[in-house]
Amino acid sequence: MDFINILKLPALLIFAYMLGSIPWGVILTKLFTPFDIRKNGSGNIGATNVRRIAGTTLGVITLAGDMVKGAFPVYLAIKLTGVNGFWAEIYVSLITVSVLSGHLYPVFLKFKGGGKGVATTAGAFLIISPIACLFALLTFIMFICLCNRVSAGSLGAALILPVAVWKATNSKVLAICAAFISIVIYLRHIENIKRLFSGTEPVIWNQ
């Protein structure tokens, strides 16, 4: 790797965090609705709450925006370093954690009120390992079909992700990164987990 690319490595970490900090849910609902998404529904800025409060179209656009901001810096990291080799995997993992940190603690929202990280994580791992991401997506769909709740799908996908990454890439580093992020996602879903056990978690569609 040449000197110029070495200089790009710390710059990309900062860029990943800043990109992750873009609160698409807040921006879109402020532009196209009278709502402040942080004060309506669950108060979360992610696609699920946006869909619930502002409709499916804005929910889907929010989902896409959150996935793209996870995918793009990881793509750049892989272009710089490759994804093979211990140090390349370490760097790609750091970029993934950096962009997720921006999403969870966005500088543009004064480091609070961030999302839960599922879509941003999906975007990042779609670049790292499309096969692992596919298994997580299938698990997400299966849990949604069984439980009729987005949070259940998200928790199921987070549970399977480290195993899927390990099997698909045979990389301990990337699997550990996935496991760490999965733990973070579970911690961000504590209230959802409580509502799932109490039966008060909102459903996707009425039966």
Give the pLDDT confidence of 159-201 residue by residue, as tens digits.
999 999 999 999 999 999 999 999 999 999 999 999 999 999 9
Residue 95 burial (10 A CB sphere; 0-12, 13-18, 19+): buried
Q: Which two tokens stand for residue 47?
A: 């696609």
Q: Who has greater pLDDT, 2 or 124?
A: 124
Q: Residue 79 falls within a domain, yes or no?
A: yes
Sign of the Cα torsion 156, 118, 12, 101 reads: negative
- Domain coverage including residue 90: 3-198
Residue 155 in domain = yes
Q: Is residue 205, in this structure, part of any structural domain at all?
A: no
Is residue 78 situated within a structural domain? yes
206 in a domain, yes or no?
no
Please give the tally of structural domains in the chain.
1
N residues, the chain = 207
Report pLDDT digits (tens) over 56-75. 999 999 999 999 999 999 99
